[in-house]
Amino acid sequence: MRVVLNDLILYREHWSLSARGSFTDGIHLISGDTGSGKTTLALLIAGLMQPSQGSAEREQVESLMVSFQFPEYHVTGATVREECSSWGGDPLTILMAVNLAGKEDLSPLRLSRGELKRLHLACLLANDYDLLILDEPFSSLDCLEKERICGEISSRQKGITIIFTHEQELFPRVDYIWEIERGSLCCRGPLPGALMVWDHAPVSVKKLVAQGKIPDNITPKDLLEVACRT
């Protein structure tokens, strides 16, 4: 399974975005400033937007899902129960997992943004997709929930997971790091080597690297472990 970006370029009036490289099985983190083109690239990779030049080829990808930053866009059920079912999941199991039991008959749009995001991610992660693209999956979530979602993402055993985020605190286990810089996608490589050249790295990671303490990965556990290392 592979996603190949063949010299992909998108031109807009005062802006352009270019990308080349390939995404193999594992978890890929793409970081970049707000407005750098993360959402646009997510749509291009998923084939939901056509590039001006080049192509995005999804080899042996049979199931694909994109999670948009705003969970409202995904709502198709009139009630929370229907919404869970529309993803093919068991409402009771999902709602228990995200602490929303008892809200089955509410409209999903009556939930707070954080609750809806929790529900959306729980429904999404209950399925196995060959290619899963998550656009800002941690927005609107509190620290505890971010940690739980990081655990869920880290436990994905197969397929390609691409996370677009400007999160600076909590991360799942990641296999590769990419960055969008000056309108271009750059591959920083696999971890832990990528940490040395990761421009958008969180301050905590940068400090550790500066001290010569290189964590194996960027999960809170990895960072804590290396910070305590003498």
**Order of strands, sheet of 15-24, starting from the edge strand that comes earlier in the sequence:** 53-59, 2-12, 15-24, 184-190, 176-181, 26-31, 160-165, 131-135, 64-67
At closest approach, how far in Å is the CB of 63 from another protein? Answer: 10
By the rule CB under 8 A, 75 interacts with another protein = yes
Q: Which stretch binds another protein (CB under 8 A): 15-23, 71-79, 173-181, 204-212?
A: 71-79
By the rule CB under 8 A, 74 interacts with another protein = yes
Closer of 48 and 92 to another protein (Cβ): 48
Please tell me the distance from the alpha carbon of residue 78 to that of residue 216, in angstroms, as a whole number.
44
Residues 148, 102, 133, CA angle at the centre, nearest 5°?
35
# binding residues, another protein (CB under 8 A): 17
At closest approach, how far in Å is the CB of 72 from another protein? Answer: 5
Tokens 């390939």 — which residue? Answer: 22
Q: Tell me which H or E stretch contains 162.
A: strand 160-165
Intra-chain end-to-end CA distance of the chain, in Å: 41
Backbone φ, ψ for residue 184 (5° rounding): -135, 140
Give yes or no for a cis peptide into 190 (omega within 30° of 0): no
Please tell me the distance from the alpha carbon of residue 82 to that of residue 80, in angstroms, as a whole number.
5
Report 105-164 residues binding another protein (CB under 8 A): 109
Closer of 83 and 179 to another protein (Cβ): 83
By the rule CB under 8 A, 72 interacts with another protein = yes
Report 41-70 residues binding another protein (CB under 8 A): 43, 48, 64-66, 68, 70
Closer of 85 and 184 to another protein (Cβ): 85
At closest approach, how far in Å is the CB of 208 from another protein? Answer: 38
By the rule CB under 8 A, 76 interacts with another protein = yes
- Which residues in this chain contact another protein in the complex, by CB under 8 A? 43, 48, 64-66, 68, 70, 72-78, 86-87, 109
